[in-house]
Amino acid sequence: MYGVNAFHTLRVQKYLECFHLPLEKLQEISARLKKDFNRGLGKHTHHRAAVKMLPTFVTATPDGTEKGDFLALDLGGTNFRVLHIRVNEDEQRVMKSQNCAIPQEMMVGTGEQLFDHIAACLGEFVNSQDLKGQTLPLGFTFSFPCEQKEIDKSILIRWTKGFNCSGVEGEDVVKLLKEAIHRRGDYDIGSVAMVNDTVGTMMSCGYKDQSCEIGMIIGTGTNACYMEELKNVKRVEGMEVKEGENRRMCINTEWGGFGDDGALKDILTEYDEEVDRTSINPGIHTFEKMISGMYLGEIVRLVLVKLTQEKLLFNGETSKALLTPGTFETRFISEIEKEDKGVENTKKILADLGLTSNAVDLHIVRLICDTISSRSARLCAAALATIVNRIRVNRKLDHLKTTVGVDGAVYRKHPNFSEELQDMVRRLAPQCDINFIVSEDGSGKGAAMVTAVAQRYVCILAYSCAKINIVVQKKI
Ligand code: BGC
């Protein structure tokens, strides 16, 4: 703070106050989310629930005996990946992987174009790996909210994170993928298991640590899944649980949708409202827009513009770049907040944006980044605390020891995000002892793990009058 005019800083802090969330507020937010979890799981309430609590039909975590070769597709963030994974007693090895870009226009084009592109990339990979003659089982990580009907039937509820392809919402994504592969006709795949990236992350970490029963992503988007008691999953009919049985199912919370019904109105700032208004999907994924990598940079940019217009930054002079949406990338926040190179990085980033800065500006820009990333970490902590507290109460434990598998660039790359999140969860869930594992290639490997576990257990879902009647789990 040296050399910084105190009055000036005070005025800046006044503008940033709206982002501050004290412990009591976070406790309140966690209590609201707890109610939303119940609504999402409820038989009669889930249709209108903002937090969807989607059943995944994943009822078992790895036990270490899974093995085999699998293909995995990972679609959901900025990149699309194809992987060949070998699972055996002591490792899940990525034999080969390939990144395929998804051009911006394809993200908002037709669904057919998107799936043809995915099938083409997979075909190229299968060919290059000499896997063409084999029909390997495929784990498909599709990181969007889907109403999963079975492990290989998954209806897209809505696009998020900048995707908006026509003709996919309301459709079975596995069917669209298979149709695209058949349109090509030059290779085939075996059974398909659909997973959300949170589930993939939990499953891949679960292979190393069998107490891992939560998966969390803080990257382009944000979300978490956890193992819920089957008896509480009222929205899936026919899952009878006998007295004393501890059967569980992984629930994809889709916590990004928290607040879509106005539940977070009191903490939304004018900057959040602007980000939402100018997004591709206004009114959708309110919580995600306050937290994840797709939006954090834009929030910072809007605050920078505001403070410049108020003559608290850059001598009151904006630049064309600063006034252009999307120019302040989320990765800049991590670079600016770095302990050692932060000041140097800030100078360079601001200069690249055509801004002339002095020492006070550098300090203020860092303060803004810190405020926005810290709010994100604290909100995630409140949401994660809701999950761990719920698991503890579900199991009637005084004390819960559990592991969370985590992935996503915001969590991994920001210099102190993970630390702040962890500290805050510990304060919000003092009766829980939580271990965090960062997953490596989690969503890809995890998709293979779900496929492997699904092969270990065959779920036969018998339908009667369009209603799930009975679920039999049979060990192969
Ligand atoms: C999606 C989730 C996904 C999360 C993290 C959100 O936008 O709705 O399904 O898990 O992003 O990738």
Query: In this predicted structure, what is the pLDDT of residue 225?
Result: 98
Residue 206 has pLDDT above 50, yes or no: yes
CA of 203 to the centre of ligand 1 (A): 16
Type of residue numbered 62: P
Is any ligand 1 atom within 6 A of the Cβ of residue 163? no
Average pLDDT over residues 431-453: 83
Tokens read off for 129? 């790996």
pLDDT band at residue 4, thresholds of 50, 70 and 90? low
**CA 57 to chain CA centroid, nearest Å:** 19
Greater model confidence, 259 or 93: 259
Greater model confidence, 461 or 422: 422
Query: In this predicted structure, what is the pLDDT of residue 296?
Result: 98
Query: Are 77 and 218 members of one domain?
Result: no
Is any ligand 1 atom within 6 A of the Cβ of residue 196? yes
Distance CA 66, CA 314 (A): 58
Query: Are 108 and 241 members of one domain?
Result: no
Query: Are 449 and 414 members of one domain?
Result: no
Domain that includes residue 257, residue range: 1-55+210-439
Query: Are 183 and 260 members of one domain?
Result: no
Digit-coded pLDDT (tens) for 329-384: 999 999 999 999 999 999 999 999 999 999 999 999 999 999 999 999 999 999 99
Q: Indicate whether 72 belongs to any domain.
A: yes
Could you tell me the CA-to-CA distances from 197 to 59, 230, 472 in Å, in that order? 16, 21, 26
Type of residue numbered 462: A
Distance CA 364, CA 286 (A): 27
CB 294 within 8 A of CB 221: yes
Digit-coded pLDDT (tens) for 224-283: 999 999 999 988 876 666 666 778 999 999 999 999 999 999 999 999 999 999 999 999
The CATH code of the domain that includes 11 is 3.40.367.20
Query: Are 273 and 414 members of one domain?
Result: yes
Number of structural domains found in the chain:
2
Is any ligand 1 atom within 6 A of the Cβ of residue 56? no
Distance CA 323, CA 333 (A): 18
Query: In this predicted structure, what is the pLDDT of residue 468?
Result: 25
CA of 214 to the centre of ligand 1 (A): 15
Is any ligand 1 atom within 6 A of the Cβ of residue 143? yes
Average pLDDT over residues 421-444: 92
pLDDT band at residue 457, thresholds of 50, 70 and 90? low
| Three-state secondary-structure class, residue 210 | coil
Query: In this predicted structure, what is the pLDDT of residue 60?
Result: 77
Active site residue 43: no
**457 strand-pairing partners:** 475
Query: Are 267 and 381 members of one domain?
Result: yes
Distance CA 225, CA 256 (A): 12
Q: Indicate whether 472 belongs to any domain.
A: no
Say which range, 163-167, 214-218, 230-234, 408-412, has the weakest mean pLDDT: 230-234
**98 strand-pairing partners:** 82
Query: In this predicted structure, what is the pLDDT of residue 68?
Result: 84
Q: What is the pTM of this model?
A: 0.91
The 212-218 sheet, strands edge to edge: 54-55, 248-252, 222-229, 212-218, 400-407, 432-438
> Which atom, in ligand 1's list, is nearest to the CA of 257?
8
Count other C-beta atoms under 10 Å from residue 334's C-beta: 23
Active site residue 260: no
Query: Are 140 and 177 members of one domain?
Result: yes
DSSP letter assigned to residue 439: P
Question: 421, 404, 390: which is closest to 202 by C-alpha?
Answer: 404
